């Protein structure tokens, strides 16, 4: 795959799959704008990519819940590189885990403070919505582009405690992805959602069952994203692609 002269924005890019996507995209010749709220780590990762001398990386401090900061990230990409070819929405996480909710103190869904769930919906759903609204202005002007949303098997399964995550991911997988694809088609813009099952970004993921008997290596998820963005993936549009080792077709225990 060759991404020379292509430009991507990746969120959650200081760690995890957002970082891995940025590293891969730059290694294949592309330029990448890396967005994250952890400025110190982000700057370190940007410098490491630039030291390799392939594609160029730029770091932008950005809270995806803040539309003004989202627009600043878009403008930085356009000012630095002149265009935006790929928008990859990796930033996210289950609020009850990210906000370190105490299960003993807040044992069930109605007991969890609503601001915890607000955080989850803002990051996991409104963040990608904000970025889509912002970058589609540029993509419409250049008459090309791709938005990659990151869903989750949880969006299909539901979660009786981390409801912000399952609700947000379902919204990405179906409502937002299909709607962007419908809007973007007349401008040469595509939108695809990649929905992983368990991925070894956290050790606990190894405990989730799949038909294949394992969790995914993060690179397997990124390889799919890169294929969709490449010349070989241009006919994929408006679809939610589950990459879950067969978890979604497993028989459920009654």
DSSP, collapsed to helix, strand or coil, labels residue 58 as strand
Rounded CA separation 2/240 (Å): 24
Burial-class residue 234 by CB neighbours within 10 Å (0-12, 13-18, 19+): exposed
- Phi, psi of 134, deg, nearest 5: -75, -50
Whose structure tokens read 């549009």?
237
Of 67, 165, 174, 187, catalytic: 165
Tell me phi and psi for residue 14, to 5 degrees: -85, -10
User: Is residue 165 annotated as part of the catalytic site, yes or no?
Assistant: yes
Give CA–CA dist 242/244, Å, rounded.
6
Which residue, among 7, 9, 5, has the nearest Cα to 131 in the 3D structure? 9
| Residues that are catalytic | 165
């Amino acid at each position: 795959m060759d991404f020379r002269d292509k430009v991507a924005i990746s969120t959650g890019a200081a760690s995890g799959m957002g970082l891995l996507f940025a590293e891969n995209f730059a290694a294949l010749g592309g330029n990448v704008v890396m967005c994250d709220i952890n400025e110190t780590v982000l700057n370190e990762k940007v410098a490491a990519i630039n030291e390799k001398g392939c594609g160029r990386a730029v770091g932008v401090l950005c809270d995806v819940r803040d539309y003004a900061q989202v627009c600043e990230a878009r403008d930085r990409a356009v000012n630095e590189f002149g265009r935006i070819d790929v928008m990859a929405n990796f930033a996210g996480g289950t609020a009850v885990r990210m906000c370190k909710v105490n299960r003993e103190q807040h044992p069930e869904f109605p007991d969890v403070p609503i601001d915890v769930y607000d955080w989850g919906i803002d990051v996991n759903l409104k963040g990608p919505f904000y970025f889509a609204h912002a970058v589609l202005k540029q993509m419409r002007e250049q008459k090309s582009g791709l938005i990659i949303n990151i869903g989750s098997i949880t969006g299909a399964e539901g979660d009786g405690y981390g409801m912000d995550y399952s609700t947000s991911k379902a919204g990405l997988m179906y409502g937002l992805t299909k709607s962007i694809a419908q809007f973007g088609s007349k401008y040469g813009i595509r939108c695809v959602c990649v929905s992983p099952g368990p991925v070894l970004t956290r050790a606990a993921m190894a405990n989730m069952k799949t038909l294949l008997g394992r969790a995914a290596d993060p690179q397997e998820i990124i390889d799919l994203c890169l294929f969709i963005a490449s010349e070989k993936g241009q006919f994929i549009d408006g679809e939610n692609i589950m990459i879950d080792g067969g978890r979604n077709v497993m028989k459920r225990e009654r």
